[in-house]
Chain A
Amino acid sequence: MSTLITSLAQATENAAKAEAFTISPIGLVIMILAIGGMCSLLGWCVYKVVTVPHPEEHLHTQADITPPDEIEERQ
């Protein structure tokens, strides 16, 4: 594992020497994966939030939540 990382580091260093800070192919891949991944995840979440049907009165006040203690008390 460390040999692989060292080799990759050397390759990256050589590429950096050759072309200053121009984005390398692997840098481009990482950028596209990171940005694409986050956009896809958010897009999927928003799609689910918008499309999944939920009851009209989905959120209520706490006043109509009966704590377990009160349920026991009533019984």
Chain B
Amino acid sequence: MSEIQRPKESWGTRVGVILAVTGSAVGLGNFLRFPGLLAEYGGTFMIPYIIAFLILGLPIAFSEWALGRFGGRYGYNSTPGVFRAVGKRSHLASYLATLGPVIPILIYTFYVFIEAWCLGYAWKYAFGTMPNPDGIKDFFASFTGASENGILFQDPLNNALIFLAVCFVLNFFLIYRGLSKGIELFCKIAMPTLVLCAVIILIRVLSLGSNPDFPDRSLIDGLGYMWNPKWDLLLSGDIWLDAAGQIFFSLSVGFGIIITYSSYLKPNDDISLSAITAAAGNGFTEVVLGGMIVVPSAIYFLGPETMSDPAVNGSSFNLGFVALPAVFDAMPWGNFFGFLFFFLLFLAAATSSISMLQPAIAFLEEALGLGRRASCAILGFITISGTFIVIYFTQDFAALATLDTWIATVGIYILATIQVLMFGFVLGIRKGQEEIDRGAEIRLPRIIPYIVTIVCPVYLITVFGYWVVTNLILDDSITNQIKNSLPVQITIGMILLTIIFIILVISEAVRRWDRKDKSLKGAEL
């Protein structure tokens, strides 16, 4: 296969890098999952959340930034390439990074579908065609196909499919334009717009006062419902598991995205301040904006019984796409605020979903020597195939839930564990510290590489072990689904096929990289 000479890519500005990484991190989890967890566990949730942020999220983020920039010095932009550079051309290192391209590709296949829901809701609010609260459950079921498998294809112009097509075209257009003119430019516009939308809604929520129709519902009650601690829950393992999962999903660590993004930096560019700023931006969006909008307004307009409703409690989808439309219906200027909210959700989802495509594009380009057009075409085929399974098996979101469990939960724990072990034991603590310090604009505590090497693997393996015991050993619902549900079996088949495909591409990449290294050595002799 002849190698296509392509221009090397890079970030345009430092603010652009930070906004792109923040945009990758800020997603639906910030505005839907985090408020739901806070309402479930109360203010107590902040204790494991902050601990997970400090000793899991931030250190792993530092290690990913350092690994990525290290690999970028050798011209690698994908996780398998970066691991090869760290592992001193070891083939095993590249194969250990198999999940690096797999995770973002497969998460994209369902994330883009939810992105389409947000765009569809925003569109309907903008044109005043959202149904009233009585019909919202039926509308959600028909719009997303939750009622029956394959139902979306019966009337594709009147449900989420048309918006899915728009999202696909937009995402691939941005990716095709490249790093600086696509991702960076979009994030520079989308992130400030997102924050502006959120601030406008937040001001509206904070000025609610007491509900004149229901004196027992007020903004203060909403805040109390969320922030009053429930100390007894602190002894439950679930709160620690949920906090770790939230930090992971929210900061986008363990996705292979930060490694790719930071590989485009120059060797002496700062990573310490950039990493903290991106994490802080994500935390601000999550705690201050996301945490203060959804639940207080739901309590104010719908009452605390809504949050206790099993249909809403514990389900980010129902909270966001069923309960919130009822809130906007009861709110003066509801269509305007409904549009703002779902448009900001769409922007949050779009900045995240384009970041999921870049690691795979970088991998296909450097592994097979493809140009941008060819790599976009291959990735388009893979993601459309995967998304087809997600949008066909929509009943109870079986395919989506399976991908969420095995990729967005199990997969990211495994990849994050491999990453911290590569950082601590292959790159090494001393070299890792040097890598973090090079060009650093703030001095990080010396203990960070030790936390990455010792604390993070123990924390990750413990939390993951707890998940395996509670979800696979003590509870047989997941294993029963694998045995009895055809959609689940097909989805797992898709996951395995993707893994096999990536392993085959890695084997070709390793051969190419070896040939290149040998030719360089030959030239040297």
Say whether A associates with B: yes
**A39 to chain B: which residues have CB within 8 Å?**
284, 288
Structural contact, B74 and A27, CB atoms closer than 8 A: no
Structural contact, B231 and A8, CB atoms closer than 8 A: yes
Mark contacts of B42-61 with chain A using CB atoms, 8 A cut-off: 1 yes-contact digit, 0 otherwise: 11001000100000000000
**A42 to chain B: which residues have CB within 8 Å?**
277, 280-281, 283-284
Task: Enumerate 16 A-B pairs (CB-CB under 8 Å) in ascending A order.
Answer: A5-B231, A6-B231, A8-B231, A21-B222, A26-B228, A27-B224, A28-B227, A30-B229, A35-B288, A35-B291, A45-B276, A48-B277, A49-B274, A59-B266, A61-B8, A62-B75
Return B129 CB to nearest CB of chain A, in Å. Answer: 34
Further contacts, 8 of them, CB under 8 A, given A65-B75, A69-B517: A9-B230, A20-B304, A27-B42, A38-B280, A49-B273, A59-B10, A67-B74, A68-B74
Interface centre among A26, A41, A45, A54 (most CB of B within 10 A): A45
Structural contact, A38 and B288, CB atoms closer than 8 A: yes
Mark contacts of B226-238 with chain A using CB atoms, 8 A cut-off: 1 yes-contact digit, 0 otherwise: 1111111011000
Return B318 CB to nearest CB of chain A, in Å. Answer: 20
**A54 to chain B: which residues have CB within 8 Å?**
14, 270, 441
Structural contact, A31 and B227, CB atoms closer than 8 A: yes
Residue numbers of B with Cβ under 8 A of A are 7-15, 17-18, 42-43, 46, 50, 72-75, 216, 220-232, 234-235, 264-267, 269-270, 273-274, 276-277, 280-281, 283-284, 286-288, 291-292, 299, 304, 441-442, 517, 520, 523-524
Structural contact, B280 and A41, CB atoms closer than 8 A: yes
Structural contact, A27 and B283, CB atoms closer than 8 A: no
- Report the Cα distance A37→B53, complex, angstroms: 13
**A65 in complex: contacting residue of B221, B227, B234, B266, CB < 8 Å:** B266
Contact (A21, B74) CB under 8 Å given A31-B227, A42-B283, A45-B273: no
- Report the Cα distance A54→B523, complex, angstroms: 38
* A1-29 at interface with B (beta carbon < 8 Å): 2, 5-6, 8-9, 12, 15-16, 20-24, 26-28
Structural contact, B284 and A23, CB atoms closer than 8 A: no
Contact (A5, B234) CB under 8 Å given A61-B9, A65-B267: yes
Closest to B264 in A: A62
- Report the Cα distance A42→B25, complex, angstroms: 15
**A15 to chain B: which residues have CB within 8 Å?**
228
Return B420 CB to nearest CB of chain A, in Å. Answer: 23
* A23-75 at interface with B (beta carbon < 8 Å): 23-24, 26-28, 30-31, 33-35, 37-39, 41-42, 44-46, 48-49, 52, 54, 58-63, 65, 67-70, 72-73
Structural contact, A69 and B284, CB atoms closer than 8 A: no
Closest to A73 in B: B524
- Report the Cα distance A12→B224, complex, angstroms: 12
- Report the Cα distance A16→B274, complex, angstroms: 42
Closest to B216 in A: A20
**A21 to chain B: which residues have CB within 8 Å?**
221-222, 224-225, 228, 299, 304
- Report the Cα distance A65→B287, complex, angstroms: 39
**B523 to chain A: which residues have CB within 8 Å?**
73
Structural contact, A48 and B442, CB atoms closer than 8 A: yes
**A12 in complex: contacting residue of B230, B265, B266, CB < 8 Å:** B230
Structural contact, B73 and A65, CB atoms closer than 8 A: yes
- Report the Cα distance A67→B81, complex, angstroms: 14
**A44 to chain B: which residues have CB within 8 Å?**
280
**A16 to chain B: which residues have CB within 8 Å?**
228
Structural contact, A8 and B280, CB atoms closer than 8 A: no
Structural contact, A22 and B220, CB atoms closer than 8 A: yes
Structural contact, B232 and A5, CB atoms closer than 8 A: yes
Structural contact, A23 and B223, CB atoms closer than 8 A: yes
Structural contact, B75 and A67, CB atoms closer than 8 A: yes
Structural contact, A22 and B8, CB atoms closer than 8 A: no
Structural contact, A5 and B235, CB atoms closer than 8 A: yes
- Report the Cα distance A9→B42, complex, angstroms: 12
Return A15 CB to nearest CB of chain B, in Å. Answer: 8
Structural contact, B9 and A23, CB atoms closer than 8 A: no
- Report the Cα distance A16→B225, complex, angstroms: 10
Structural contact, B46 and A68, CB atoms closer than 8 A: no
**A33 to chain B: which residues have CB within 8 Å?**
46
**B15 to chain A: which residues have CB within 8 Å?**
49
- Report the Cα distance A33→B15, complex, angstroms: 28
**A12 to chain B: which residues have CB within 8 Å?**
228-231
- Report the Cα distance A39→B262, complex, angstroms: 25
Structural contact, B46 and A34, CB atoms closer than 8 A: yes
- Report the Cα distance A9→B231, complex, angstroms: 5
Nearest 4 CB-CB pairings of A with B: A23-B224, A62-B8, A30-B43, A27-B228
Contact (A59, B13) CB under 8 Å given A12-B229, A42-B280: yes
Structural contact, B224 and A24, CB atoms closer than 8 A: yes
Structural contact, A65 and B288, CB atoms closer than 8 A: no
Structural contact, A73 and B520, CB atoms closer than 8 A: yes
Interface centre among B73, B280, B520, B524 (most CB of A within 10 A): B280
**B8 in complex: contacting residue of A2, A9, A41, A63, CB < 8 Å:** A63
**B232 to chain A: which residues have CB within 8 Å?**
5-6, 9
Closest to B76 in A: A67
